[in-house]
Amino acid sequence: MPELEFADRAERDDLGAFVARAVRLDATSVVRLRDREGGRIESWVATPFDVLATRTVLGAVEPADVTVSGSELLAALSVSRGERVDPGRVLDLQWRSALPPQAHWQVVESLPAKIVNDLADRGLAVARENVGPQGTPPASLLDQTVLTVTGDGLEVKIPLRCLFAMSGMGFLGTGSADEQVRVTATDAWLRIDARFGAVVRRRHALLPLLV
């Protein structure tokens, strides 16, 4: 049976807020929980924007890598007020996204959160005017580059879908003058860290296998 253990109540509540946002975006979402050095739990969800979202809290998870139902985990975190929580059924086979590497990330640039907030707000306004038949913006709009950052020998293009994921997960905060958003990258991955979490996406589409 999987089990979560938290360093204190605030860490449990932080994970609860992360899971609540993921479930609000997709009621059927699953959450991958991974035990990390230094007494940390790394949580991952796949958002509807084809972008991964992640948040790290202080605590431990057993087994060290497990996927559970987002709605069941949210219920457990809401009901159980102790240090230990049963996160629900193991659903490892339902996790289908590759995770980025732990190492070899380069800091590209830090940006004022207000700039990213403003870009996200403008993108949302455009998206509302271009909703497709399924009630979602077209992929061509989501894939548009809204920001290009350079640094440490890298040029990184940030698509609108990353800002949508950050906004939908509530990561951007208030965009106050002292808040920063950090962009890091590897050869294959892009990561944007904000106050309440991070979003991660491949920088280049995978080539299809030849058959």
In order along its 211 residues, the chain shows pLDDT tens digits of: 899 999 899 999 999 999 999 999 999 999 999 999 999 999 999 999 999 999 999 999 999 999 999 999 999 999 987 889 999 999 999 999 999 999 999 999 999 999 999 998 898 888 878 776 655 778 888 999 999 999 999 999 999 999 999 999 999 876 666 889 999 999 999 999 999 999 999 998 655 555 4
Chain CA centroid to CA 45, Å:
6
pLDDT of residue 211: 47
pLDDT of residue 161: 94
User: Strand pairing of 30-36 and 3-6?
Assistant: unpaired
At 93 the three-state DSSP class reads helix
CA gap 7, 24 in Å, rounded: 26
Query: Strand pairing partners for 90?
Result: 68
Model-level pTM? 0.92
Token code pair at residue 79: 């009901």
Q: Which domains does the chain have, with CATH numbers?
A: 3-94 (3.10.150.10), 106-202 (no CATH)
pLDDT of residue 206: 59
CA gap 35, 58 in Å, rounded: 10
Q: What are phi and psi of 89, to 5 degrees?
A: -65, 145
pLDDT of residue 134: 58
At 16 the three-state DSSP class reads helix
CA gap 99, 189 in Å, rounded: 10
* CA-atom Rg of the chain in angstroms: 17
Distance set, CA 76 to CA 20, 58, 60 (Å): 12, 18, 16
